[in-house]
Amino acid sequence: MTGKVTALALEQAELSGATRAYFAKCEEKLGLVPNVLLAYAFDEKKLRAFTDMYNDLMLGDSGLSKLEREMIAVAVSSVNHCYYCLTAHGAAVRQLSGDPRLGEQIAMNYRAAELSPRQKAMLDFAVKLTESPDKMDEADRQGLRDAGFTDRDIWDIASTAAFFNMSNRVAAAVDMRPNDEYHTMAR
């Protein structure tokens, strides 16, 4: 099931060849088509806009490793208690880190994980940005610089944390449900 609101819409959609090919590639690489993509597929323009932004942020060039970006995803989703994103991205942290416990810790409370000062600073920033965006100021940015991040890295931390504040809310608003396969991945 892909979410109560979008279920109906999806029935009416006809997927283009390009989308079918994209989904086949997901199936091949991940073993599944993430339900979030099925949820957006009722409108291919929305699907493409979402995947373009997602793929650039999470897989594109960055001073942050892919694991670090997934850690941000999970820490933000923990604050927002997002079932979809904690499930899907918790699995990614377990997989990319090879440390199942780390995925659990960040999903539950990133303060319980044994993080490097760099990663602690990164998640502190992401979580403050999630909880009180109105209170961000230069001292927060300076904290990241002091931990060794460049201004470009700050952009990437900020836009990844911000993206999941969007994605968590879409998932919550339409009751999006993660693929069952995530639960057992990389345990």
Interface residues with a second copy (CB under 8 A) are: 4-6, 8-9, 42, 45-46, 48-50, 52-53, 56, 60, 78, 80-83, 86-87, 100-101, 104-105, 107-109, 111-112, 125, 129-130, 133-138, 140-141, 151-152, 154-155, 157-159, 161-163, 165-170, 172-175, 177, 180, 183-184, 187
Which lies closer to a second copy via its Cβ, residue 25 or residue 101?
101
Which lies closer to a second copy via its Cβ, residue 21 or residue 166?
166
Shortest distance (Å) from residue 68 CB to a second copy: 16
Which lies closer to a second copy via its Cβ, residue 23 or residue 76?
76
Which lies closer to a second copy via its Cβ, residue 23 or residue 149?
149
| DSSP secondary structure letters along 4-38 | HHHHHHHHH----HHHHHHHHHHHHHHSS--HHHH
Which lies closer to a second copy via its Cβ, residue 23 or residue 40?
40
Contact 93, 106 (CB under 8 A): yes
Which lies closer to a second copy via its Cβ, residue 29 or residue 45?
45
Shortest distance (Å) from residue 54 CB to a second copy: 9
Phi-psi region of 4 (alpha: psi -120 to 50; beta: other; left: phi over 0): alpha
- CA pair distance 34, 87, nearest whole angstrom: 11
Shortest distance (Å) from residue 163 CB to a second copy: 6
Beta-carbon contacts of 79 under 8 Å, excluding residues fewer than 6 positions away, are 127, 130, 131
Shortest distance (Å) from residue 88 CB to a second copy: 11
- CA pair distance 185, 87, nearest whole angstrom: 10
Q: What are phi and psi of 186, to 5 degrees?
A: 55, 35
Residue with tokens 């700050």: 154
Shortest distance (Å) from residue 71 CB to a second copy: 15
Shortest distance (Å) from residue 117 CB to a second copy: 13
Contact 33, 26 (CB under 8 A): yes
